[in-house]
Amino acid sequence: MQVYADNAATTKVSQTAIDALLPCLTDKYGNPSSIHSFGQAASREMENAREIIARCLNADPKEITFTSGGSEADNQALLSAAAAGEKKGKKHIISTAFEHHAILHTLDKLSKQGFRIELLPVYQDGIVRLEDVEKAIGEDTALVSIMYANNEIGTIQPISEIGALCKEKGVPFHTDAVQAAGHLFIDVKVQNIDMLSLSGHKFHAPKGSGVLYVRSGSVPLVNVIEGGAQERGKRAGTENIPGIAAMAAALKESCENLDANAAKVSAMRDRLIQGLEQIPESVLNGHRTNRLPGNVNFCFKGIEGESLLLMLNLAGIAASSGSACTSGSLDPSHVLLSIGLTHEVAHGSLRLSLSEYTTDEEVDHILATVPTVVERLRAMSPVWESMQKGK
């Protein structure tokens, strides 16, 4: 049996997305900036997609800027807020220690330009505390950027409360919602979100399409890609019409089925958690219930995550040991270190991420396979042997 349990890295493209994409390859293939009928057909497709996505977020279509994905959207959000803040003499940015590297690396870049970056702790349960955010906000704060849900351990942050606090303090609020969009409730007006990033391939659209939402009147966007006047002059380059159309269709379908999908997927998640925690010396990472419906993340002491993944792959199970963007690194996950795990324990992590396409039979296969593989690896592990002798 083949089991795909790496949906946090990328998802299978849905038939709905494919059906929306194909006409843009065969019939509506014009450049949306062209004035002829082919170009205008493509432009109408793009603006229809913009309206669909705006409705899913409870935004205005003009607040939606299309990007190549979540990383570009994150970069543009932070650089725009930093530029706006600098003009007002505000050079303090608040974020957390376990953000995606698209955020953290951009913050590193800004710190070298004289910005003061404050990374808040997320504690053992992987959740930032509202009082820490409130305490950190000062007169010189240009932006608060806190992810909606973590890509590795799946923990959901108090976004509505943070949004309300930032509105009260008059500070722009950005959230990286790449893992949340299509899976969790999002309403940018109700939640007081000023800027939001999302990526289509996390909710069954093709790779290469994303969105940056910016509330009108909040933060003026600066270009991170120079060139033409596409996207109201805020993002140069011919728009990816097939990807945009597919992304809108996939997000609409995901939002329409949000509650049913969450109930189904979280039931499978909980069954996995209950089964895997029976393995001796296993640690569930992050809050047990306040997490994404499809996210399961464990550390198994005494083994290496890479070896675990290789053996699971041989058994037909595709999983990961952390973020897909850092899968080539031998360093332990910065997310796991941020919640207090040691380097040694963090090296033995396993992330299983499910979707509505996952079946109960596939969950059964995972539950039957992982304990056996962990036991086999521990039998070969000098670290595990040393741990047992030290008891």
Enzyme catalytic residues? 325
Would you say 322 and 7 are in contact if contact means Cβ atoms under 8 Å apart?
no
Structure tokens at 50: 């913009």
For residue 54, how many other CB atoms are within 10 A of its CB? Answer: 19
Backbone angles phi, psi at 43, to 5 degrees: -65, -40
> What is the spatial distance between Cα 46 and Cα 24, in angstroms, rounded to a whole number?
10
Look at strands 282-284 and 295-300 and give their pairing. antiparallel
Structure tokens at 71: 């990383």
Would you say 323 and 346 are in contact if contact means Cβ atoms under 8 Å apart?
no
217 Cβ neighbours under 8 A, 6+ residues apart: none
